[in-house]
Structure 1
Amino acid sequence: MAGNWQQTVAQTVAGMGYELVDLERSAGGMLRLTIDWPWAPGQSERFITVDDCERVTRQLQWVLEVEGVDYRRLEVGSPGIDRPLRHARDYERFEGEVVEVTLRAPIGAAASGLVAATRRKFRGVLCRGSTPGAWRLELLSDDDKRLGPKRAARVATARGAGDEPGAAAQTVRVLDFTLDEVREARLAPVVDFTGRRPGKRLPQQAQGEAEGVRNDKLA
């Protein structure tokens, strides 16, 4: 492929006012990218539509041809319900959402018997940590069943007041971490008896319309 095609794609998407969430190239020559609207604190959510995907597709087809980038297929889509979290602003944006975090290294001795020392993956509600740059997962029930009442340096218990005045304090299992410890993080789809359903930020209809815009280009 000619030149730095990743930079070409990123600059084109940003120049059109979108955020490049993810970008990959398969062995078969497919370029697949995910776009979203940029976010700022206090700003209302905007959702990617099929028109946005088609607009980016048309522009990239022209740019990649001019730049001499060789590819077989181009696919542009919306983030979907399992959107990756790659930057600090993503964590800020999705604070309070259910997130799956995979650590770079097993939790090791910090587990102190609360979870397997080889465990890397955790699922819970994303919260800010107690220090700048730190984050916390309030682990959900599936994780909670595996944890005991003890404390550990990394997997610990935190006590908070109940929701109602006079209610008893509740014990919440938490995982504290920093972004440099994370190998991968993404929004966790919520599963109910009818199957997967999206979180509050991406209606199913909008997701279905935006995903799967494909355009072929013979190499």
Structure 2
Amino acid sequence: MRIDIITVVPELLKSPFEASILKRAIDAGHVEVYVHNLRDYATDNYKSVDDYQYGGGAGMVMLIEPIDACISKLKSERSYSEIIYMTPDGETFDQKMANSLSLKENIIILCGHYKGVDQRVRDSLITKEISIGDFVLSGGELGAAVVCDAIIRLIPGVLGNETSALTDSFQDGLLAPPIYTRPREYKGMHVPELLFSGNFPKIEKWREDEAYKRTQRLRPDLLEE
């Protein structure tokens, strides 16, 4: 998979891809991530990428010209499955969407900034709009990093144990069950005895029941879906 991220503040996207699982995935060749500075595609000497909005109102708007130039250059070099725009009014990102995007070959992620982008960008260049929640950030960079993390970890070979991602919360519509590790007893708190029984069918049934109970308690809306 190749991910191209378009931004006006590329510095915000350095650290997420220079550590932990994402860095290992890149180093191992499971994914390529490229960050493009939108100012490199500006058409004036001031490297302007925004202007005042027509009709008046507060907030600057990202210009269509540099965005179109950057996306057009990338599309001239390869085909893309999705061209994503990170925006608060996009479709809410979830595990189902992460699973779907992890199967794509090449994607572009455009990070919104200022008041947003000229509507013509959304009408003519974007294939998918994503929000990571009902709140507003200073820009789409942090949201893009969240999306990348969620989809890259699903790519085969990225996680050490291929089944690990399959047991994450939301993969089967439920929250994950409780998990335990050493020590067996700590300050009077004990690990359930069943987990030491070696009876794996019963352990699996216990995990399923606990996942359901946790979901019912914390996220009953998932059961309604």
Q: TM-score range by the shorter chain?
A: under 0.3
More helix by percentage: 2
| Greater Rg over alpha carbons, structure | 2
Report the structure, 1 or 2, having the larger strand content: 1
